[in-house]
Structure 1
C-alpha cells in the first residue's frame, strides 16, 4: 500500500464543487425570500 502524506492530494475539483454548492444555496435563499416578500406585499 502507498504511503499517505497529509496535504498532497489535489482538491481543486472538490473546492469548485463546494463553491458552486454554496453559491447555488445562497442565491436560492435570496430568490425564495424575494418571492415571500412579494407575496406578503401583493396578496390579500
Structure 2
C-alpha cells in the first residue's frame, strides 16, 4: 500500500466544483428572495 502524504493531492477540480456550488446557491437565494418580495408587493 502506498504512503499517503497529507496535502499532496491536487484538489483544484473539487475546489472549482465547490465554488460553483456556492455561487449557484447564493444566486438562487437572491432570486428566491426577490420573487418573495415581488409577491408580497403585488399581493398575489
> Given the two structures, how large is their TM-score scaled by the length of structure 1?
0.95
Number of positions where the alignment pairs a residue of Structure 1 with one of Structure 2: 44
Matched, 1:22 2:22: yes
Superposition map of 1:1-44 within 5 A: 1-43=1-43
Q: What 5-or-longer segments of structure 1 have no aligned partner? A: none
Q: Which runs of 4+ in 1 moved over 4 A?
A: none
Q: Distance in 2 between matches of 1:43 and 1:16?
A: 40
